[in-house]
Structure 1
Amino acid sequence: MRGRFGAVKRWYGKRRRFVRYTLLALVVGAVLLTGGTVASVAWIRGDAEGHLYSEADVPDAPVALVLGTKVDADGTPSPFLAARLEIARRLFDGGKVRAILVSGDNMNADYNEPAAMRRWLVDRGVPARKVVLDHAGFDTYDSCARAEQIFGVTHATVVTQSFHLPRAVALCRRLGIDANGVGDETAKRYAQTWRVSSSREHGACLKAALDLVSGRDPAHLGRRETGIDDALRSG
């Protein structure tokens, strides 16, 4: 034991400066990361302030932008996603929106969030011509950027869970959409999932700020699509 301690002591003696600088760099990095996260959360919340509404009070908009999340293996929207879709359905039925853009991940042929979202809405009475699919909404930034750049959305009501809503609305507004938002609270009954997802928002806000500062393009762009124009023109 004494021999091992002596070996560690000799190793540290030879590398003392390196170890100290490494520890200092880790501490400084942690401080900067914490500070950046706090600043990002404040920035996101500031941009979203005044644009978060209850379902009853949200102003009318041409389009509801529903952000995707998990779809089960059988193609059924998860409870979190179904709750978002239910809000969008009620907004449409109530005349508060005239078209619904469902944006999510279609990573492969066996996983298709937008198709599942459209099917859920159509099965509950929303006309298929009023539901437009964005298959490349790989994250919130991409969904907002593509809504404006690819689908020509300039005014929308964003629908997601309430913990996610400030980031989604802030991103859309920074990316050129006059966006308000309605957040779901019913999924709180899934307490553990809600808690874990909420805790991730701090890191997600930092990523959102970095995306905005970098001005990155979405992972997939492509040509301008007229689906929303067509849906708004249709009777």
Structure 2
Amino acid sequence: MPLSRRFFRLSYQGAVLLSVLAVAPLTWAWLASSGHRVVADSSPGWMAGVPEAPVALVLGAAAFGGTPSPMLARRLDISAELYRAGKVRAILLSGDNGRIEYDEPTVMRDYLLARGIPARALVLDYAGFDTWDSCVRARAVFGATRLTVVTQLFHLPRAVTLCRTAGLETFGVGDDSSRRWASTYAYAAREFAAAAKGLLDAVVLDSAPVFPGPRETSLEAALQSG
């Protein structure tokens, strides 16, 4: 075989292999979460497909000057709807507080308090630095066993799969933010890398969270008060 043909053949095979490797983590997340997620849309009956669970886990996202980003606000709105409908009895707010000047969980709490969700129902996890950390800490630190995870639709398969891999009986509710914000597509594109990292953390390395403990009883107290 001429050298040029061999080179192009190997290049083609390499490109195919890279494509498969790029898509595999997303496929894993999609298949593993199948049947365990629903879209929160404008239809009045979307919540009928959500099973009751003790806890809603709201995953953090960007906050600016004490105000949640539109995506984070929508996650919080969905969790408030679930709480008011009796689908959950407590809300675990898991986000990034790695710097003194940046505090996602407190912003999330204040947003829900302003919308009438009682303080006794809100539990803050200040070390939810990524999805895997939030899932592992929900189980190992806060003692959750069954929950509904709330995020955007593009993130939902990974969030549900990682929480289930962490040992949580998990259902997921996702907001289809692509109908409102063009920036959703940029975040969705990042899911290729994020899903690969999630697969590595959860399945290959079984990574510990940045802050693995100590054990907290705030979620148990919230459930008892509810």
Q: Which TM-score band (shorter chain)?
A: 0.7 to 0.9
1:37 equivalent to 2:36? Answer no
Which residue pairs with 1:205 in the alignment? 195
1:83 and 1:187 in contact (8 A); partners too: no
Larger Cα-atom Rg: 1
One-letter code aligned to 2:87 = K
Distance 1:27 1:106, change over 3 A: farther
One-letter code aligned to 1:48 = S
User: What TM-score do the two structures reach when normalised by structure 1?
Assistant: 0.85
Q: What are the Cα deviations for residues 9-68 of structure 1, in whole angstroms up to 9, with x where unaligned?
A: xxxxxxxxxxxxxxxx99988665433222111111111000012441110100000000
Distance 1:38 1:122, change over 3 A: same
| Equivalent position SS for 1:97 | coil
Which residue pairs with 1:65 in the alignment? 57
Q: Work out which of the residue numbers 200, 205, 210 in structure 2 matches 1:214.
A: 205
1:108 is displaced (CA, Å) by: 1.0
Distance 1:231 1:29, change over 3 A: farther
Distance 1:30 1:226, change over 3 A: farther
Distance 1:215 1:126, change over 3 A: same
Distance 1:26 1:105, change over 3 A: farther
Distance 1:125 1:134, change over 3 A: same
Q: Distance in 2 between matches of 1:26 and 1:111?
A: 46
2:62 and 2:72 in contact (8 A); partners too: yes
Q: Distance in 2 between matches of 1:176 and 1:30?
A: 35
1:221 is displaced (CA, Å) by: 1.1
Which residue pairs with 2:118 in the alignment? 127
Which residue pairs with 1:117 in the alignment? 108
What is the root-mean-square deviation in Å for CA atoms of aligned residues? Answer: 2.0
Q: Distance in 2 between matches of 1:40 and 1:99?
A: 31
Distance 1:106 1:232, change over 3 A: same
Which residue pairs with 2:37 in the alignment? 52
Give the 5 Å matches for 1:1-235.
Answer: 33-54=18-39, 55-56=46-47, 57-72=49-64, 74-186=65-177, 188-191=179-182, 193-212=183-202, 213-235=204-226
One-letter code aligned to 1:200 = R
| Equivalent position SS for 2:170 | strand
1:187 is displaced (CA, Å) by: 5.7
Q: Distance in 1 between matches of 2:104 and 2:205?
A: 27
Distance 1:112 1:34, change over 3 A: same
The percent identity for this pair of structures is 51
